[in-house]
Structure 1
Amino acid sequence: MIEMAMTFAFACFGLGLLICLWRVMFAPTIPDRILALDTMVVNMIALIVLYGMHHKSGLYFEASMLFAMTGFVSSVAYAKFILRGDIIE
């Protein structure tokens, strides 16, 4: 039963990732693209954690934490660049 649930979760997060990729490519404004990229980071984190659960390894959880930190910093930096035109003050 848990294998079916994990397969369903993989499919749902994979589909969400593809939809966000489409939104990044065809979004009308730059803030929409930033939000889609941030959502893609969240979906990738979920996929990494699910993959770790599937292989019963804690290493993937640590990798997902690093990916989350990197994704947060990049989203903030990109948004700041769009608003001010400069990242470093």
Structure 2
Amino acid sequence: MDPNLYNIGLTVAAAFFMLSFIFASYRIVVGPNSIDRLLGLDGTVSMIQCAMATYICWTLDTTVSNAMIVIALLGFISSVSVARFRKRDGA
């Protein structure tokens, strides 16, 4: 594969991650209730993982794979804890 084409594809992917991160951040800040904020946080966690995978593809450096596992576990634990201890909004 042509290295220039490969770099262009990864640059486009990184730009889409940045755009979707902005949208998810907006949902976290403006979300009308806690479930919307939780969905924004879950989306942000998954985007961080995908961005790290893109970084691995770009640099061929796999040292961040352990960080990806930790981020996945923290995202799972935070989602379960919010779902478990959530009270109704406005009540």
TM-score greater than 0.5 by the shorter chain: yes
What is the total number of aligned residue pairs between the two structures? 84
TM-score, structure 1 normalization: 0.86
TM-score, structure 2 normalization: 0.85
- Structure 1 unpaired stretches of 5+: 85-89
Larger CA deviation: 30-39 vs 62-71: 62-71
Partner of 2:49: 45
Identity over aligned residues, as a percent? 29
After the TM superposition, which residues 3-82 of structure 1 pair with which residues of structure 2 at under 5 Å, given as runs?
A: 3-82=7-86
Larger CA deviation: 59-68 vs 31-40: 59-68
2:21 match: secondary structure: helix
- Structure 2 unpaired stretches of 5+: none
Residues 13-60 of structure 1 deviation map (CA, whole Å, 9 limit, x = unaligned): 111111100000001111111111001100010011111221111112
Runs of 4+ in 1 over 3 A off after TM superposition: none
CA RMSD, Structure 1 to Structure 2 (Å)? 1.4
Which whole-Å CA distance do the structure 2 matches of 1:53 and 1:59 have between them? 12
